[in-house]
């Protein structure tokens, strides 16, 4: 696997994790939802993540960029050391 594909996979995984964290934190910190007794997990998923997709997108992108940049810097340093 080449370096570019590793970076892309790292970004995608980081973005998905960050998106779930941002959606969970945003909905639990700013608006406490009192669920009815027969609500399903899919109803909660739709409310936390699908309905608020546009609001969670930008913070998740910013958070996902951080580990991607860290991985790029680490890989660049490793490649410089291997050349020496």
pLDDT, one tens digit per residue, over 18-77 is: 998 888 787 766 666 677 788 888 887 887 788 888 888 999 999 999 999 998 888 888
Two tokens, residue 72? 């790029």
Query: Domain residue spans in the chain?
Result: 3-72
CA distances from 59 to 10, 36, 54, 62, 75 (A): 17, 29, 10, 5, 25
pLDDT, one tens digit per residue, over 66-84 is: 999 998 888 888 777 776 6
Burial of 60 (0-12, 13-18, 19+ CB in 10 A): buried
* Interior/surface letters 21-53, b for 16+ CB within 10 angstroms, e for the rest: ebbeeebeeeeeeeeeeeeeeeeeeeebbeeee
């Amino acid at each position: 696997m080449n370096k570019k594909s590793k970076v892309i996979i790292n970004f995608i995984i980081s973005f998905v994790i960050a998106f779930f964290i941002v959606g969970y934190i945003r909905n639990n910190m700013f608006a406490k939802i009192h669920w009815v007794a027969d609500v399903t997990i899919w109803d909660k998923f739709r409310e936390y993540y699908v309905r608020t997709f546009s609001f969670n997108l930008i913070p998740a992108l910013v958070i996902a960029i951080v580990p991607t940049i860290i991985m790029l810097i680490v890989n660049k340093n490793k490649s410089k050391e291997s050349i020496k």
